[in-house]
Amino acid sequence: MKGKVLLMLHAHLPYVNHPDHPYFLEENWLFEAITETYIPLLMAFERLEKDNVPFGITISLSPPLIEMFAEHTLVDKYRRHLESLIELAKKEVDLTRKEETPKHEMALKYLNDFKEELAFFDNYNGNLLTAFKNVQRTGNVQLITCNATHGFLPLMKINPKAVHAQIAIGVKAFEERIGDHPKGMWLAESGYYPELDKELATQDVNFFFVDSHGLWYADVPPHYDVYRPVMTPSGVFVFARDPESSEQIWSAQLGYPGDSNYREFYRDVGFDRPFDYIRPYVDPSGVRTNTGIKYHKITGNVSLGDKALYNPENGLQTALNHAKDFVQKKASQVRRLKEQMGVEPVIVAPFDAELFGHWWYEGPNFLEFFLKESAKSDIFESSTPDRVLTSLDDVQILTPAKSSWGANGYNETWINGSNDWIYPHLHEAESRMSELASQYLNASDSLYIRALNMCARELLLAESSDWAFIMTTGTSVEYAVNRTNTHLSRFLEIYDAIKSHNIDERVIELYEWLDPIFPYIDYRVYA
Amino acid sequence: MREEKTIRQLKKEAMLLKIKGYYNMTKSELAEVISRRRMELSKKIRELDKMEIDELRKLSKEFDLKVPWKSARSTFVKKIKALFENLKLNGELEEQKFEKNKVPSQNISSFETQKVQNVNKAPETVISLPVSYFKDKFCGLEVNPNWIHFYWDFSPKNLEIIKEHSNLVLRVYDVTYIEFNGINAHRTFEMEIDEKMKKYYVFVPQSGADYIAEIGYKENNRFVPLLRSNLVSTPPSSAKIAQMELWMDLRSKRKFTEMSPSRKVLRIEKLVGFSSMPTSGFKSGGGSFFILSGRRGS
Task: Provide the number of structural domains found in chain B.
Answer: 2
- Between CA A226 and CA A236, with CA A230 as vertex, the angle to 5 degrees is 135
- Cα separation, A480 vs A297, in Å, equals 32
- Between CA A37 and CA A40, with CA A39 as vertex, the angle to 5 degrees is 65
Kindly state which CATH superfamily the domain A3-70+127-254+310-408 is placed in.
Glycoside hydrolase 38, N terminal domain (3.20.110.10)
Of the partner residues B130, B153, B230, the one whose CB lies closest to the CB of residue A158: B230
- Between CA B196 and CA B202, with CA B201 as vertex, the angle to 5 degrees is 115
Look at B27 and B170; give whichever has higher pLDDT. B170
Say if residue B143 is in the same domain as residue B236.
yes
Give B269→chain A minimum CA distance, Å. 10
Sheet arrangement for strand B199-203: B113-114, B199-203, B147-153, B137-144
Please count the other Cβ atoms lying within 10 Å of the Cβ belonging to residue B115.
12
Q: Which residues of A touch B236 (CB under 8 A)?
A: 217, 401-402
CB-CB under 8 Å, B298 with A246? no
3-state secondary structure of A10: strand
In this structure, of A99-113, A428-442, B1-15, B229-243, the range with the lowest mean pLDDT score is B1-15
pLDDT of residue B73: 80
B143 pLDDT more than 70? yes
Domain that holds residue B142: 108-116+130-266
The residues facing A6 across adjacent strands are A348
* pLDDT bucket at B29, cuts 50 / 70 / 90: confident
B86 pLDDT more than 50? yes
- Count of residues for chain B? 298
CB-CB under 8 Å, A392 with B247? no
pLDDT of residue B221: 86
3-state secondary structure of A116: helix
Query: Residue B294 domain-assigned?
Result: no
Please tell me which residue of chain B has the smallest CA distance to A480.
B122
B290 pLDDT more than 80? no
The residues facing B107 across adjacent strands are none
Residue B260, CA atoms < 13 Å, CB-side half-sphere: 0
Say if residue B61 is in the same domain as residue B134.
no
Concatenated DSSP letters for B196-216?
A: GG-EEEEE-S-TT-EEEEEEE
Q: Above pLDDT 70, what percent of chain A?
A: 100
pLDDT of residue B125: 45
In this structure, of A203-212, A449-458, B184-193, the range with the lowest mean pLDDT score is B184-193
Q: Averaged over A462-469, what is the pLDDT? A: 97
Which amino acid, residue A286?
Answer: G
B23 pLDDT more than 80? no
Give B183→chain A minimum CA distance, Å. 24
B90 pLDDT more than 80? no
B97 pLDDT more than 50? no
- Cα separation, B27 vs B40, in Å, equals 20
* pLDDT tens profile A474-501: 888 999 999 999 999 999 999 999 999 9
Say if residue B87 is in the same domain as residue B141.
no
Query: Residue B231 domain-assigned?
Result: yes
B56 pLDDT more than 90? no
CB-CB under 8 Å, A246 with B127? no
Give A48→chain B minimum CA distance, Å. 26
* pLDDT bucket at A332, cuts 50 / 70 / 90: very high
Which of A410, A422, A489 best probes binding to B when mutated, by most B CB atoms within 10 angstroms?
A410
Give A136→chain B minimum CA distance, Å. 24
Say if residue B77 is in the same domain as residue B198.
no
pLDDT of residue A119: 98
* pLDDT bucket at B84, cuts 50 / 70 / 90: confident
Concatenated DSSP letters for A203-217?
A: TT--EEEE-HHHHHT
- Residue A133 burial (CB < 10 Å; 0-12/13-18/19+)? middle
Please tell me which residue of chain A has the smallest CA distance to B232.
A158
Q: Which residues of B touch A190 (CB under 8 A)?
A: 285-286
CB-CB under 8 Å, B121 with A421? yes
Say if residue B140 is in the same domain as residue B207.
yes
Work out how many CB contacts closer than 8 A connect A with B: 230
Nearest to B245 by CA among A235, A201, A212, A224: A224
CB-CB under 8 Å, B69 with A304? yes
pLDDT of residue B296: 26
Q: Averaged over A88-101, what is the pLDDT? A: 97
Say if residue B77 is in the same domain as residue B203.
no
Query: Residue B121 domain-assigned?
Result: no
Question: Rounded to whole angstroms, what are the CA distances from A245 to A327, A354, A406, B159?
Answer: 11, 17, 17, 54
pLDDT of residue B59: 81
- Cα separation, B70 vs B68, in Å, equals 5
* pLDDT bucket at B88, cuts 50 / 70 / 90: low
Within chain A, all domains assigned CATH 3.20.110.10 are found at: 3-70+127-254+310-408
Say if residue B256 is in the same domain as residue B112.
yes
Query: Pairing mode, if any, of strands A394-397 and B113-114?
Result: unpaired
Query: Residue B196 domain-assigned?
Result: yes
Q: Which residues of B touch A424 (CB under 8 A)?
A: 133, 137, 139, 151, 153, 198
- Cα separation, B171 vs B216, in Å, equals 8
pLDDT of residue B292: 40
A339 Cβ under 8 Å from any chain B Cβ: no
CB-CB under 8 Å, B127 with A486? yes
Which of A223, A262, A395, A479 best probes binding to B when mutated, by most B CB atoms within 10 angstroms?
A223
Task: Please provide the average confidence, as pLDDT, over all residues in chain A.
Answer: 96
Query: How big is chain B by its Cα radius of gyration, in Å?
Result: 30
In this structure, of A80-94, A158-172, B2-16, B97-111, the range with the lowest mean pLDDT score is B97-111
Longest dimension (CA), chain B: 92
Residues 171-200 of A with CB under 8 A from B: 189-190
Say if residue B73 is in the same domain as residue B112.
no
Query: Residue B281 domain-assigned?
Result: no
* pLDDT tens profile B233-255: 999 999 988 779 999 999 999 99
- Cα separation, A132 vs A70, in Å, equals 12
In this structure, of A210-224, A388-402, A434-448, B64-78, the range with the lowest mean pLDDT score is B64-78
A152 pLDDT more than 50? yes
Q: Name every residue whose Cβ is closer than 8 Å to that of residue A375 and which is 6 or more positions away in sequence.
A: A53, A54, A55, A381, A382
Say if residue B183 is in the same domain as residue B254.
yes
Query: Residue B125 domain-assigned?
Result: no
pLDDT of residue B276: 66
Concatenated DSSP letters for A391-447?
A: T-SEEEE--PPSB-SSGGGSSTTTSSTTTTTHHHHHHHHHHHHHHHHHHTTT---HH
Q: Averaged over B162-171, what is the pLDDT? A: 89
Contact B108, A412 (CB under 8 A): no
* pLDDT bucket at A312, cuts 50 / 70 / 90: very high
Say if residue B245 is in the same domain as residue B140.
yes
CB-CB under 8 Å, A427 with B139? yes
pLDDT of residue B92: 41
- Cα separation, B270 vs A216, in Å, equals 13
A492 Cβ under 8 Å from any chain B Cβ: yes
A335 Cβ under 8 Å from any chain B Cβ: no
Query: Residue B291 domain-assigned?
Result: no
* pLDDT bucket at B16, cuts 50 / 70 / 90: confident
The ipTM is 0.94
pLDDT of residue B260: 62
Say if residue B86 is in the same domain as residue B112.
no
Say if residue B45 is in the same domain as residue B136.
no
- Residue B166 burial (CB < 10 Å; 0-12/13-18/19+)? exposed
B282 pLDDT more than 80? no
B232: domain CATH number is 2.60.40.10
Task: Please provide the average confidence, as pLDDT, over all residues in chain B.
Answer: 76
Q: Which residues of A touch B69 (CB under 8 A)?
A: 266-267, 303-305
Query: Residue B282 domain-assigned?
Result: no
Kindly state which CATH superfamily the domain A415-526 is placed in.
Families 57/38 glycoside transferase, middle domain (1.20.1430.10)
Which of A28, A294, A413 best probes binding to B when mutated, by most B CB atoms within 10 angstroms?
A413
* pLDDT bucket at B12, cuts 50 / 70 / 90: confident
CB-CB under 8 Å, A223 with B261? yes
The DSSP secondary-structure symbol of B111 reads -
- Cα separation, A11 vs A472, in Å, equals 21
CB-CB under 8 Å, B143 with A410? yes
Residues 80-119 of B with CB under 8 A from A: 116-119
Residue B287, CA atoms < 13 Å, CB-side half-sphere: 29
Give B233→chain A minimum CA distance, Å. 9
pTM: 0.83
Contact B74, B56 (CB under 8 A): no
* pLDDT bucket at B289, cuts 50 / 70 / 90: low
- Cα separation, A433 vs A527, in Å, equals 8
Give B236→chain A minimum CA distance, Å. 6
In this structure, of A272-276, B65-69, B200-204, the range with the lowest mean pLDDT score is B65-69
CB-CB under 8 Å, B153 with A424? yes
* pLDDT tens profile A367-393: 999 999 999 999 999 999 999 999 999
Question: Rounded to whole angstroms, what are the CA distances from B159 to B154, B196, B216?
Answer: 6, 11, 11
